[in-house]
A = this chain, B = another copy of it.
Amino acid sequence: MKRHFFYALIIISFIACNSNENKVEANSDANKTKENKVYLASWAEGARSRIETWVKEVTTAGSAGFIPVADRIAVFDNDGTLWLEQPIYTQFLFAIDNLKAIAPLHPEFQKDPVLKGVIDGDMEVLKKAGVPGLLKVINASHNEQTEEAFNNAVKKWMETAKDKKFGKTYKELIYLPMVELLEYLRANDFKTFIVSGGGADFMRAFAEEVYGVPPYQVIGSYGDAKYEMIEGKPVVTKKSGAPFVDDKAGKPVGIHRFIGKVPVFCAGNSDGDQAMLEYTNGSKYKSFCMIVHHTDSVREYQYDSPSPIGHLESALTAAKEKNWMVVDMKNDFKKIFAFQ
């Protein structure tokens, strides 16, 4: 699988980055005046106007582009579209931390040199093990746990783990203008969904709190699950089999499977989102497609085609051909994070 090599690149770049712990001082001036009921306040004028013009057209009864409420389906990628994805997907960091956290309950982990290495903090072992080692870590840290135990583990981790560059929890590393956009669309009777390559169970543990998106509107990658009664208690346990990868052509399939309607709004940031952008573009209604372009090396990261994470190349070409909105984060976002 090509995907495996892609992950190999990621994990290797992550291990390389891990030594550069260039911590940035946290700016904790998040408690400034709230712009209540003013939507899209962190968007620069031109970008804001483009979004508002479309929303007004499709929500105004009698207008040529009117979309009935029942069909106002908006889908958002997560990593790099709603929150930080550099220098490595947040879920991988959770995988490593959670492996360590549950290790005392799993003496069998000690028998595996890769898992033991990660637990002991020896990342060289993981680096040498390549993709099979990485998948082993993800599997051991995510599966054979009840949905409740896994959900609690993610919630707890999200309260405490901090990003090295910003010194902030990952809940704080969500893009303020995009959260405003979610709220603005919901205020106009859109249903907002997350459609991401990330794990569904991982995202569902925080999406309701940080994005206002309930678990049943979070679509992601997932594996098998098993229902059984254990000591008189009904439990669902996460299993590693039958993986569904909600990325690339998997995204429209996930939308078909979970939503059952073609979206009319779609936001992504990488080539992995191109299929769902095209799918949205093919709606019978006048749809809106958006690409979040990471152009701000100072306030966040600057990357597109050379990056293995958030690789953006063919979707950017498609955006130009099809007049999709390309958000220039440096100029179109007055703020990127709420704390800035």
Contact = CB atoms under 8 A, between A and B. Distances in A.
Interface stretch (A9-17, A128-136, A278-286): A278-286
A216 interface: yes
Interface stretch (A24-32, A155-163, A225-233, A308-316): A225-233
A204 B256 CA distance: 11
A252 B208 CA distance: 21
B215 A259 contact: yes
Nearest to A223: B257
A249 to B, nearest CB: 4
A227 B226 CA distance: 28
Interface in A230-275: 233-236, 242, 249-253, 256-261, 275
Contacts of A261: 214-216
Given A236-B253, A242-B242, A279-B234, A260 B227 contact: no
A38 interface: no
Contacts of A282: 233-235
A201 B236 contact: no
Contacts of A229: 278
A286 to B, nearest CB: 16
Interface residues of A, number: 41
A278 B236 CA distance: 12
A227 B200 contact: no
A68 B330 CA distance: 40
Nearest to A280: B234
A11 to B, nearest CB: 27
Contact of A227 (B70, B193, B275): B275
A147 interface: yes
A194 to B, nearest CB: 12
Nearest to A207: B260
B278 A252 contact: no
A208 B201 CA distance: 27
A217 interface: yes
A191 interface: yes
Contacts of A279: 227, 234, 236
Given A70-B208, A227-B249, A275-B227, A236 B215 contact: no
Given A216-B217, A253-B236, A260 B204 contact: yes
A218 B260 contact: yes
Contacts of A193: 216
A338 to B, nearest CB: 22
A193 to B, nearest CB: 8
Nearest to A242: B242
Contact of A216 (B147, B234, B258): B258
Contact of A252 (B218, B234, B242, B275): B234
A222 interface: yes
A35 B263 CA distance: 36
A204 B233 CA distance: 32
A287 B216 CA distance: 19
Contact of A234 (B222, B228, B281): B281
| Top-3 shortest CB links A-B | A215-B260, A227-B252, A234-B282
